[in-house]
Amino acid sequence: MSQPISRRNWMTGMATLAAAPAPKAVGERLTICAFSKHFHWASVPEAAEVCAKLGYEGMDLTLRSGGHVLPERVADDLPKAAEAIRKAGLKFSMVTSHIVDASTPHAEAVVKTLSSLGVKHYRWGGFRYNDREPIPKQLDSFRPRVRDLAALNKQYGVCAMYHTHSGIGQVGACMWDLWLLLRDFDPNYVSANYDIGHATVEGGFGGWIHTSRLLMPYMQGVAVKDFFWKANEKGVWRPGWCGLGDGMVNFRQFFRMLKEAGFAGPLQLHMEYPELAGADTGQKTFTIPKEKLLAIMQRDLDRLKGLLRQEALL
């Protein structure tokens, strides 16, 4: 016999439903996006044309200091960038922004301009721990900042995606802390941009599986890159970023999980290894022939598409 539902349990269930992402439309699928950081050597129109020829479907445009668009110029320059991206036949899927919280300079101008252009997603992040205070106390101090950003995004109908980095002091590196920050808010306004490379660095055996499951309801975006452990010149073991498929990230299992979850957000390809000779770090120039650079980029994109096809995500 079923038991009566208490008011408390009913309210908890309703809150859970309210926080669930909106269901995806039938036939909707992910969009493979170029990360414009790797194309800083080109103007936005040229970068968009190059990315379209390589076979990308969308663009993740850098909107930050040193990026393709500067935050203080957003109202003037972002509409021009959007026009160039769309003219090349790409979706303008998202931007990688400078925004840490609603008080970040130019944050409202960025969000307002994105909304006016129909761009629904932007990458957000940058909370850091210090080692002088307990972590629970610091998480409590971050929560109002997430709340205020969610309110700003709701006002304009856009969604911030917190990018998950690995490393000491990074909020979101262990993923559970990010879940604690996001769980009380609508993921249509504050969510996660889950980087499977960084997730594997922090949880290489089973941890990334658990954190993927934990954050899947909040994943509005995904970033992909590969790595292997490498000792530096001082003998310290560090992640060595490498070409897609040359490292230890289990893309097939992760993509299978995305398919089962019905993920349909922007999927960004990151190429942050030295073979790109400056383009990996967002430099304005690179030190290898352009044909070689584009061949490396084409190789990684082709590998990504092959992995996605194997899991019927393309």
Model confidence pLDDT, tens digit, residues 113-155: 999 999 999 999 999 999 999 999 999 999 999 999 999 999 9
Residue 20 confidence (pLDDT): 47
pLDDT > 70? residue 24: no
Q: Which amino acid is at 15?
A: A
Percent of the chain residues past pLDDT 70, beyond the cut: 91
Alpha-carbon gap, residue 195 to 100, rounded angstroms: 18
pLDDT > 60? residue 265: yes
For the chain, state the CA radius of gyration: 20
Alpha-carbon gap, residue 263 to 257, rounded angstroms: 9
pLDDT > 50? residue 10: no
pLDDT > 70? residue 4: no
| Dihedral (CA of 130, 177, 109, 49) sign | positive
- Whole-Å CA distances, 235 to 1, 62, 133, 167, 231: 64, 34, 31, 18, 5
pLDDT band, residue 28 (cuts 50/70/90): confident
Contact 42, 50 (CB under 8 A): yes
Pairing relation of β-strands 31-35 and 159-163? Answer: unpaired
Percent of the chain residues past pLDDT 90, beyond the cut: 89
- Whole-Å CA distances, 164 to 56, 141, 200: 23, 19, 11
Alpha-carbon gap, residue 198 to 239, rounded angstroms: 9
Alpha-carbon gap, residue 151 to 136, rounded angstroms: 23
